[in-house]
Chains A and B, each alone.
Chain A
Amino acid sequence: MAVSHCFSRAASAFTAVLLFSFGCVAASHIEDQAEQFFRSGHTNNWAVLVCTSRFWFNYRHVANTLSVYRSVKRLGIPDSHIVLMLADDMACNPRNPKPATVFSHKNMELNVYGDDVEVDYRSYEVTVENFLRVLTGRIPPSTPRSKRLLSDDRSNILIYMTGHGGNGFLKFQDSEEITNIELADAFEQMWQKRRYNELLFIIDTCQGASMYERFYSPNIMALASSQVGEDSLSHQPDPAIGVHLMDRYTFYVLEFLEEINPASQTNMNDLFQVCPKSLCVSTPGHRTDLFQRDPKNVLITDFFGSVRKVEITTETINLQQDSEIMESSYKEDQMDEELMEPLKYAEQLPVAQIIHQHFEDSFPLCSALHSF
């Protein structure tokens, strides 16, 4: 009797334990789902891609920027959400043996320029002032929409910069430079104006890690191609084009990104491993202390792609017919245009009129004399 009672108690305890564990598993499964849904709080993606170098021998910097542009477009960010700044034109440069192309690999395998490229800031427009104005949004009112960074507090922004740099600065077009303090202050302005949700900053220059040392705003993750005191090296030259085509770090990042598609679940830790010292010669670095989430939970497509959360609804929406509006406008047009007098084209070179006009301009006193 005692044994059976024990047994029943054990059985009930066992079932209770089983139910409890099952409930735990179910609860954690729901938690996982909930966590996945709220994994990153962004609703739109922006990219600001900057190449700061001028002159033909800096072809590789333009190729770097264009390869990131290509990956970002391929993964879904549209041109209207990309601000592309190229300080010089390599594709239609007279020294380019294959015009309208920019290659990333020798043997001309991959044309990163493509047929559908929109450069927003080009040539002399790529200055420190324009770059900071784009980031902070303090732009003259006449600036067209394609040249603005219209991000909000739910935007994830990718900022990629490449060029020649040093310890604490990045050179723009061989005539001015931007320091890491200015950059950090610009990001703080963006944070205060709620212009980003999360920011990924990638830089491929010599001593690139110095550029992210001074950041102090939250939600920034930074990657650099080399540490302070190290140079970032270029990958390989092409004998037909005559210059180095890409930098090593961005070359391996491009190789890594070519494997990514909009549905992939690769996270930032994999990006940190791209280009170890054996391949890159310099030591790539990263900084995640300002970032709130764990990098292993951050997907590559959170910054490089434009993956939207889609909700499917079964409601129907009725669209208004506007055929009546079109009819009325056509009728009105026909009514009032017939009343005008016959028009004519202008004479392209009315010699007599021009000379007469010149005569009047040269002798304005004639009318004054006549008034006496």
Chain B
Amino acid sequence: MGASAAGKAEVAAGMAAAMPLALFVLLLLGPGGWCLAEPQRDSLREELVITPLPSGDVAATFQFRTRWDSELQREGVSHYRLFPKALGQLISKYSLRELHLSFTQGFWRTRYWGPPFLQAPSGAELWVWFQDTVTNVDKSWKELSNVLSGIFCASLNFIDSTNTVTPTASFKPLGLANDTDHYFLRYAVLPREVVCTENLTPWKKLLPCSSKAGLSVLLKADRLFHTSYHSQAVHIRPVCRNARCTSISWELRQTLSVVFDAFITGQGKKDWSLFRMFSRTLTEPCPLASESRVYVDITNYNQDNETLEVNPPPTTTYQDVILGTRKTYAIYDLLDTATINNSRNLNIQLKWKRPAENGYIHYQPAQDRLQPHLLEMLIQLPANSVTKVSIQFERALLKWTEYTPDPNHGFYVSPSVLSALVPSMVAAKPVDWEESPLFNSLFPVSDGSNYFVRLYTEPLLVNLPTPDFSMPYNVICLTCTVVAVCYGSFYNLLTRTFHIEEPRTGGLAKRLANLIRRIRGVPLL
């Protein structure tokens, strides 16, 4: 009984202690809970646009946009949520109005790929608009490039007056601007700058979800750098907060564009999926994002007897005039729970379905001194068109014994052959070979709707660099002469002994001989 009473007393004491603890906890949560009811001042939107390109490659463009409704110019802002602190402190310390920094590897081939959303030059490009309160723009510019070189692990510290310009007409601000005095603009490009994982790593760390959730899980360096074009950029600018545009918000856009090559990554096939491009699939949206979408360009749904099939089928589409042409996009919304349903991951697949295989290519590369190149192609030419086929080749050096006696003439490349079935204007009857004239029975004709013709191009005369065959002869002559003159003289001086010879008085015979010699003009004895 004593024990149970003691137990009860303990329980009572415990409860008494818990009471103030509970009150304390309530007090702690109280003001915090009230604070959380305020609307958040920053928001994140992420999107990925997948565009199949006319050449069979596929382009993927990531954009992560953080908008922060705040006045960053004032000191004392210390609470950063989605907007990265490293960049927020740069804006306030150097009084930036706009910052645009890009790192690019490769070149956007507009002729094959179409117009880009946002192109950047190869290497690193940095252009900045400073606020008009800055007194020494050049000093701020130099310090800013040094700080950015530390943040992005790049050699931006090489930016100095020798590669900085102040454009006077272009590079107007992309964000809100009252007046544009170009004195506050600076622009520099470092074309030699290499982009690699060490630039991607800090770029990824600026994202609110880093590379853990949402679209940024697809950002793996070993896939992103195995591309024809890779461009990552950071853009900071002030934008309108609302439709009336009475206050400023700061917008940070991080963009990344890559073009996957059909032959390197796709092994020649034009079928693409998220897994083939990034070796990963999407599993969940970023919990901090208010919008997380994937857009797939299905404008060329029907193209040249091929239809584009997109799997899983999209629920919504978006149509608009983009860069001058009307385009249609399929939308996959990661925040919509139906998108990532029971399979727990989203792998978007693009398949081109062609009804019939109507091409053939056979290529046999040359082996030195064994066999030549052979290229055979079967092509269907569209009507009323011009088709050009061109081949690039390199000239190699031959061994000196393999040159003909007249190498300056050049070497011949055999002509190309075109064998064609040309549709006839008039249907032909089948020919009896014994009855018809000889000129009508050169090629067998299977059906009268087309006729066979074989054409040849001109042979190509290639000038190979000709070595100077006379060089060995010239060298030997010159060397031997020099050796003979120099060495010979030295040898004579060193080894010959000189002694004076007394002139001897000769007899009569000698005098007679000298007379005859003098007449002849020959040296005397």
What residues make up the interface of A, taking CB atoms closer than 8 Å to B? 89, 91-92, 98-101, 111, 113-120, 122-125, 142-147, 321, 323-324, 326-327, 329-330, 333, 337-338, 340-350, 354, 357-358
Contacts and interface: CB of A to CB of B under 8 A. Distances in A.
A113 B197 contact: yes
A357 B247 contact: no
Contact of B31 (A101, A147, A323, A344): A323
Nearest to A84: B198
A344 B151 contact: no
Contact of A101 (B142, B222, B240): B222
Contact of B150 (A144, A329, A340): A144
A225 to B, nearest CB: 26
3 tightest A-B CB contacts, nearest first: A144-B150, A92-B196, A346-B177
Which of B105, B154, B158, B172 gathers the greatest number of chain A CB atoms within 10 Å? B172
Contact of B246 (A92, A340, A350): A340
A271 to B, nearest CB: 28
A2 B38 CA distance: 97
A125 B168 contact: no
Interface in B205-229: 220-222, 224-226
B424 interface: no
Given A99-B222, A343-B248, A321 B194 contact: no
B176 A348 contact: no
B306 interface: no
B2 interface: no
Given A100-B225, A343-B245, A119 B153 contact: yes
B222 A100 contact: yes
B247 A337 contact: yes
Given A91-B197, A142-B146, A337 B246 contact: yes
A95 to B, nearest CB: 13
B76 interface: yes
Nearest to A346: B177
Given A92-B105, A354-B169, A115 B194 contact: no
Contact of B35 (A125, A144, A326, A347): A326
A123 B154 CA distance: 10
Given A330-B38, A346-B176, A350-B172, 16 more contacts: A89-B196, A98-B222, A99-B226, A101-B222, A113-B197, A115-B221, A117-B197, A118-B198, A143-B146, A143-B150, A144-B146, A344-B176, A345-B177, A346-B177, A348-B174, A349-B170
7 contacts: A89-B194, A115-B222, A117-B201, A118-B201, A120-B153, A337-B71, A346-B176
A32 B31 CA distance: 53
A91 B196 contact: yes
A272 B396 CA distance: 52
Nearest to B221: A100
Given A91-B196, A92-B225, A100-B224, A144 B149 contact: yes
B172 A92 contact: no
A347 B166 CA distance: 18
A202 to B, nearest CB: 23
A343 B178 contact: yes
Contacts of A329: 76-77, 79
Interface of B: 31-32, 35, 38, 41, 70-71, 76-77, 79, 105, 142-143, 146-147, 149-151, 153-155, 157-158, 168-170, 172-178, 180, 192, 194-198, 201-202, 220-222, 224-226, 240, 244-248
A168 B176 CA distance: 60
Given A125-B157, A145-B150, A100 B194 contact: no
Contacts of A98: 222, 226
Nearest to B194: A89
Contact of B176 (A91, A146, A326, A345): A345
A342 B31 contact: no
B384 to A, nearest CB: 38
A51 B493 CA distance: 58
Which of A114, A124, A144, A344 gathers the greatest number of chain B CB atoms within 10 Å? A144
Contacts of A357: 168-169
A323 B245 contact: no
Contacts of A114: 197
Contacts of B180: 346
B150 A99 contact: no
Contacts of B222: 98-101, 111, 115
B198 A117 contact: yes
Contacts of B170: 349
A143 B145 CA distance: 10
Contact of B197 (A115, A123, A324, A338): A115
Nearest to A144: B150
A125 B150 CA distance: 13
Nearest to B105: A92
Contacts of A117: 197-198, 201
Given A92-B194, A346-B173, A341 B246 contact: yes
A321 B24 CA distance: 14
A154 B201 CA distance: 30
A120 B35 CA distance: 41
B201 A116 contact: yes
Contacts of A345: 173-177
Nearest to B202: A118
A111 B197 CA distance: 13
Contacts of A91: 196-197, 225
A327 B71 contact: no
A333 B112 CA distance: 50
Contacts of A142: 142-143, 146-147, 157
A169 B149 CA distance: 30
A326 B36 CA distance: 11
A116 B146 CA distance: 22
A231 B319 CA distance: 67
Given A91-B196, A326-B79, A333-B71, A344 B150 contact: no
A61 B417 CA distance: 52
Contacts of B201: 115-118
Contacts of B76: 329
Contacts of A321: 31
A114 B170 CA distance: 40
Contact of B155 (A92, A122, A354): A122
Which of B32, B247, B248 gathers the greatest number of chain A CB atoms within 10 Å? B247
B158 to A, nearest CB: 7
A172 to B, nearest CB: 16
Contacts of A330: 38, 41
A99 B198 contact: no
Given A123-B155, A124-B158, A347 B172 contact: yes
Nearest to B30: A323
Contacts of B198: 117-119, 122
Nearest to B70: A333
A101 B221 CA distance: 9
Contacts of B79: 326, 329
B195 to A, nearest CB: 7
